[in-house]
Structure 1
Amino acid sequence: MEAARLTVQDLGYSGLSFRELAKDVGIKSASIHYYFETKGALGAALAARYTAHYAEVLDGLLAEGLDVKTCMTRYVDIFGDTLRHGNRMCLAGILSAERNELPEEVRAEVVKYGEMNERWLERVLAMHETAEPDEIRRRARAIYAAVQGAQLIAHSRGDVSVYEDIVATYRANGMIP
């Protein structure tokens, strides 16, 4: 699963091949097919695993009792760290770019990742703001979109400092606490 995740983060869903994956981990392709009948089933499992992992990481930040600014700093650092490790993209971000080519089960899992991020951001923003829930929800979605977009631009240029500059601008303008 880890090798498949890294492949998708590097090459996208279209770059994921059972044969190449099997070669990378030193097993037969049939062994992968035993657990995942289709590439879509593997993609959906990857995305679900990714969502569960980051939900745990993000919930852990809240469990630590961190303030809003620290939570947001750690949040944007997660996306920056992905870039710092081989100029990779967020798994859900790169899959989103290939949406029209994805099987429905993968699309559904990608949406769940975004919704998980937005819910977490809503919780963090609600610790700090007294705005109406709909306004907090819209702001959370905008922050998620902004961070994903900043990552995409930095990825396309192969330069994590672009991500850092964009995030710093968002912070300076109050978009990201």
Structure 2
Amino acid sequence: IKSASIHYHFPTKGDLGAALAKRYTEDGRVYLASLVEGSNEPGVWIKGYTDIFRMALVDDNRMCLCGIMAAEYDDLPDEVRVEVDGFTDVNVRWLSDVLAVSRPELEKDEQLNQALAIYAAVEGAQLISRGRGDIAVYDNTIETYRRAGLLP
């Protein structure tokens, strides 16, 4: 791919970053929907959720694209921020829906709060594991979250 062809489709870095984040979000949305379609067990859904973050680490020690972008949020163009926020919203809404099934006794606001905590915890586990260069850090952290009751 030539630089000129990229600039033709994406005149600015912000346009390119927003398109990448939007595509990443859509791919994530499809994956999350497939988890629910494939099982009626919230525990299976959450396992699939944490597995996708794990697979990124196994795949050349990569990170969640929108998680990395969020780390540099203040420096992002507005159009990229919108897409990064959208990724977070997709994850938190999906996790909240999982909690509505697995913990129906919780009020909607508490489901949303716990969903955000789960999302932040999984992103954080991925970041620390990558920094350590050790997938066992991720696995042990996720298992600790399960035992502590953070994950359904």
TM range (shorter): over 0.9
**Structure 2 residue matching 1:42: 3-state secondary structure:** helix
How far, CA to CA, are the matches of 2:80 and 2:133 in structure 1?
A: 26
Residue 20 of structure 1 is matched in structure 2 by: none
Residue 66 of structure 2 corresponds to: 92
**Residue identity (%):** 50
Q: Which amino acid aligns with 2:136?
A: S
2:75 pairs with 101, 105, 113, which one?
101
> Whole-Å Cα distance in 1 between the matches of residues 39 and 127 of structure 2?
30
CA shift, 1:107, in A, is: 1.0
Counterpart of 1:153, as a letter, is: I
SS in structure 1 opposite 2:63?
A: coil
Q: Deviations over 1:42-80 (max 9, x none)?
A: 000000000001101101111223301100001000000
For 1:152, the equivalent position in structure 2 comes to: 127
Alignment partner for residue 50 of structure 1, among 19, 24, 38? 24
Number of residue pairs aligned between Structure 1 and Structure 2: 151
Render the CA deviation track for 1:11-38: whole Å, top value 9, x for unaligned.
xxxxxxxxxxxxxxxx220011110000
Q: What is the DSSP-based 3-state SS (H/G/I as helix, E as strand, rest coil) of the residue aligned with 1:86? A: coil
- Residues 119-145 of structure 1 show CA distances to partners (whole Å, capped at 9, x for unaligned) of 000111111112110111111010000
Matching residue's letter, 1:57 = Y
Give the equivalent residue in structure 1 for 2:116: 141
* RMSD between superposed Cα atoms in Å: 0.8
Q: Do the aligned residues in 1 keep the contact of 2:21 with 2:83 (CA within 8 Å)? A: yes
SS of equivalent residue, structure 2 residue 39: coil
Unaligned runs of 5+ in 1: 1-26
Q: Does 1:115 align with 2:89?
A: yes
Segments of 4+ in structure 1 off by > 6 A? none
Aligned residue type for 1:139: Q
Q: How does 1:1-177 map to 2 (within 5 A)?
A: 27-129=1-103, 130-177=105-152
